[in-house]
Amino acid sequence: MPMDEWEIHPDDLSPAQREVADLIGFENYLKLIDVYAAETIYIPKRDSFERIARNQRIVEEYNGDNLCGPSWTKSTGKSGQSLLMGK
């Protein structure tokens, strides 16, 4: 029997796989299998996207004179030094 004719059932999944299937739905899990089977996918933490948005805002607002001023600390919740260090 060709592999594309195999039937996959929820009971065939490991506990971790079942958790993902329960989260996104079994049909969507099968779509993930079709596209990403045997590949490693990195799923970043949500806060990494928040840092990206914060960093984009900093680049847009930076004028050369305002890196360590109170406006940066107030708007980002970080000091200029911690922003330079990538934190």
Q: Quick: pLDDT tens for 10-66.
A: 999 999 999 999 999 999 999 999 999 999 999 989 888 888 888 888 888 777 776
How high is the pLDDT of residue 1? 47
Residue 51: name the closest of 27, 26, 87 by CA: 87
Is residue 51 classed as helix, strand or coil in its secondary structure?
A: helix
* pTM value > 0.75: no
74's CB contacts (< 8 A; 6+ apart) are none
How high is the pLDDT of residue 71? 59
How high is the pLDDT of residue 7? 86
